[in-house]
Amino acid sequence: MDTDFQSKSSSPVIIDLKAQDLSKSNRKPPDPKRSWWKEASVYQIYPASFYDSDGDGFGDIRGIIGKLDYLKNLGVDVVWLCPVYESPQNDMGYDISNYREVHKPYGTVQDLEDLIEGLHHREIKIIMDLVVNHTSDKESRKSKTNSFRDWYIWRPPRIDSCGRRHPPNNWASIFGGSAWAYDVTTDEYYLHLFHNSQPDLNWENEDCVSAVHDILKFWLNKHVDGFRMDVINLISKTVGLPDAPVTLLDSAHQPAWMHYAHGPRLHEHLRGLRSILDKYNAFAVGEMPWVKEPEHVLKAVQGSRNELNMIFQFDIVDIDIGPTGKFTKLPWSLCDLRAIVEKWQKLMTQNDGWNALFLENHDQPRSVSRFASDKPEFRVYSAKMLATFLSFQAGTLYLFQGQDIGMVNVPKDWSLDEFKDVETKNFVEDFMGSTSASQSLLFAETMDQVRAKARDNSRTPFQWDSSANAGFTSGSPWMRVNDDYKVCNAKSQLEDPNSVFSYWQKILRLRRKLKNIFVYGDFELVDRSDNHIFAYQRSSTDGRAIVLCNFAACATSWEMPSEVGDICELDRIVLHNYSITSMPRIIHTHGKRVVEFLPFEAMVFVELHGGSNR
């Protein structure tokens, strides 16, 4: 198993703050704590599903190049490109066979260089996926003496008292089954935390580590601006690879994250990667599943440690996941969400860290369907409310393709045969293979959770217009287009001031104009107990803002706490996700002020110092 490391070859409203110049809040002297990547908004592109330029049914790099003006119009600062490297595509490109070549259906290295140039011409930076916990499988399984053998993790089988062969330990694969695959040619097992075609790299091998460093330099020399590092915290394993604790009594394979989520040499390796990035003024955001304890997170992101600039922290997107895995259900409340947001907002600002703000990506279902409502009467308001909730917190903002137009999960009546993702297929196969599955009281609920949380929900083709296949391809799409593309598509939203797209434009402009408040300001929860309203304050020496979001599918009222003061007045509102005819209703009664909310209503109020708001 090897990879070619070594080869060199509805209507939103913005009301102007009267008698104020919003741009004055940016007039600050240079600050070493400030960085371009802190102020950025990042747009993630899943290339197979973005736009197909040649009619073969798969999105490609030329397709992305053809849509660069769309991204510029939206107002994003950075594009994050999911893997386009050469790959057998067992896990949609996260199984890489050559890090210096492009997968042919996506295009060529020249196409990628043209994309980089086109983005930079529009003053948009680009980050690429760095997938170096595992690769595709190839050469090293040929023999035990193969030159790449020790670049992967091989172990002899365990033989029981009856002479039967077993994997070297009891670790479970994240995609189901054992984390070990037997190779008959060499009579040994190799470790694969993910698909069995994705063997884990051995970061104890210095030649392997050096090759990873060369990959960074190769793309940085082509003017890439940084990397999103896939499951980067898994690269160091517990010495000796011991058995995991038995927590699943009916399984031979046990969750073993405690032996690979933050291993003994992780931070040494992260510092090695960072030493290269700093020479190019590039940045890195790490994907770090199973890392939830503050001390472990801070070790990776504190500025003084020179490791990662930020990580994707998974507490919010894990909020509805039950104790036995992704496809089990867990009820959550707004109090749970508040606790998560406050924890990470405070932790980062008080400890020289930085947050990555996201609700969607290629591994998560659509946020409108998950955290609000995708019913026709609510979906637009829901999309705008969630955008408001997320975008004004402290951190770098990430939005995933389709989030900008309010795309939702696939219909619940889609057959499971429509789903393409290996994770979903493996789970369904294992679950259906259970002798009791078809009679289980949990069967229907589990299948509902599969449909609700499957990664394919976010991977359906982007909905460009109302023509055949949503304008994604002139051919036959690799994956079925979501049925609602005639109602939800980019073309219908571009010139509509009431659209989700237009709302995102206004959010990105507002973050940029008031970055001292919304990027670098302090964060405080305003109300810790309301069951429907998520309220928080952002403040700096420039002024303050109040962000109010109704997470309920019903009208509700909210009494303003006294500490809010008089900021919540109509002449201070700068963003609102309903129409001009549905302005917020603020009632003054008995010395109190009450805001009456419509379903999924959101609003932002700003008060700047040194200028009149009246």
- List the catalytic residues: 230, 287
Residue 152 to residue 192: CA distance in whole angstroms: 9
Tokens of 522: 């302090």
Nearest one of 229, 313, 230 to 277, comparing CA atoms: 229
Q: Which tokens is 520 given? A: 């670098």
Copy the structure tokens of residue 233.
Answer: 């915290």
User: Two tokens at 179?
Assistant: 């984390």
For residues 366 and 385, give the distance between their C-alpha atoms in angstroms, rounded to a whole number. Answer: 14
Instruction: Identify the bridge partners of residue 45 per DSSP, sorted by sequence position.
Output: 81
Residue 80 corresponds to which tokens in the numbers above? Answer: 């994050």
Run of H or E including 533: strand 533-540
Check the CA dihedral 78-337-378-414 and report its sign: positive
- Beta-bridge partner residues of 534: 549
Task: Mention every residue, 6+ apart, whose C-beta is less than 8 A from residue 293.
Answer: none
Rounded CA-CA distance 365/370 in Å is: 7
Q: Do the beta carbons of residue 449 and residue 327 sit within 8 Å?
A: yes
Structure tokens of 345? 């907002």
Q: Which residues contact 589 (CB under 8 A, 6 or more apart)?
A: none
Give the C-alpha separation, 187 to 201, whole Å. 19
CA distance 405 to 427: 30
Which 3 state secondary structure label does DSSP give 305? helix
Max Cα-Cα span within the chain: 85
CB atoms within 10 A of CB 132: 27
* 222: amino acid identity, one letter: K
Helix pair angle (443-453, 422-432), 10° resolution: 180
Alpha helices by DSSP H, 322-378? 334-350, 367-371
3-state secondary structure of 327: strand
339, with CB counted inside 10 A (0-12, 13-18, 19+), is: middle
CA distance linking residue 602 with residue 54, whole number of Å: 41
Neighbours of 182 (CB within 10 A): 15
Q: What is the C-alpha to C-alpha distance for residues 34 and 50, in angstroms, rounded to an integer?
A: 32
Residues with Cβ within 8 Å of 257's Cβ and at least 6 positions away in sequence, in order, are 289, 290
Amino acid at 92: M
Question: In this structure, what DSSP letter does residue 47 have?
Answer: G
Closest CA to 391 of 534, 246, 252, 507: 507
In angstroms, the CA 190 to CA 593 distance is 64
